[in-house]
Structure 1
């Protein structure tokens, strides 16, 4: 029950924290060592401002989620809210692939940028682009083909709710075609120590574009417009990401 969920959280935190501690405490060939800490106000301030995009993204998700539910109640009723909840569960798993890759590759991007390894930075961007393209296509195809299977895991007990959720997921899953590039683009500029551009891309994708779409699309397409909100926001932000990468190419030499 609930105690099991709490225990799972504790076990995961202990596991995640123990692995790096074992690395530092056991003999290794790297120059990385644990040492005494000291206050570096400038570094903390820079890290906080540079990470503003991630903060804005999480805050925006909460706000947009509330407005999304209000619109769903208006156009699709309580079943619409339930369907949205199921789609968000599945989306969390799929979107985590993009977030996980971005978080994993960001330190490498930052290292090569700081070391002025321009060839490595260019190669990393090119390989990441290809990997995200393949992953985006696989996730989109899997979502479209396996929508019924995925939805029935959560709401297979209700035929009407299942049909509504499957229909909504078919439309929502189109966002995976561009979601990975937008996630990576924002994280890429964070790794380059440019929190301004990263925050711009993040707030456009997760807040401004979605807020406009939440109220505009239902007027044009009814309830179906709500399932396309994320798809439209990611599509527009995809072109913004390409634009920002293009105009900053010379400055960062990637």
Structure 2
């Protein structure tokens, strides 16, 4: 099976950039296009155009600014997630407001990155998303999970969680505990002495059983339910 994040494969991960700051967007496009395993297939300067290009180009990833004219990034992400479920949406923004972060994660975006990332960090995060992981800027992870532990957002009702919880296998629980610690599939595989593919299967099955969409939602569930502690924020 082709791994979209593997630089040795023939097909690079296809990226659509949506940002109303042309200079920033073009600079990111130049940097991303220089990576052998990443390819910018389109650019848009507002959310509506981003939705239209996502429909036409069918990229693997959409990297979306939050504040834009015509249609905001959040509005555009909602449309893409509902109508084009095969496309992953990553918010790339200067905003680190907890409520917006919670809202984006609750909606099901596949990552939330701040614009002060170094280029190498951005590339790593895009590759992480291509591997079906959920990249979040490191300085936000602890805040997010700590807030969710306190009940700041709920992705499933208590009744749904209680009904789904017994269905999780011990291996799925072990995997989600490590997901909540911010570990990648590779790191989890090493810790549990299983393959990355097996980790991915455990995460996929657990998400399905819990009625969740992304790894960060699963991490929030584990923290909120008392099975894991959020990463330290200091």
Report the TM range for the smaller structure's normalisation. Answer: under 0.3
Choose 1 or 2 for highest CA Rg: 1
State TM-score, norm by structure 2: 0.27
TM-score by length of 1: 0.26
> More helix by proportion, 1 or 2?
1
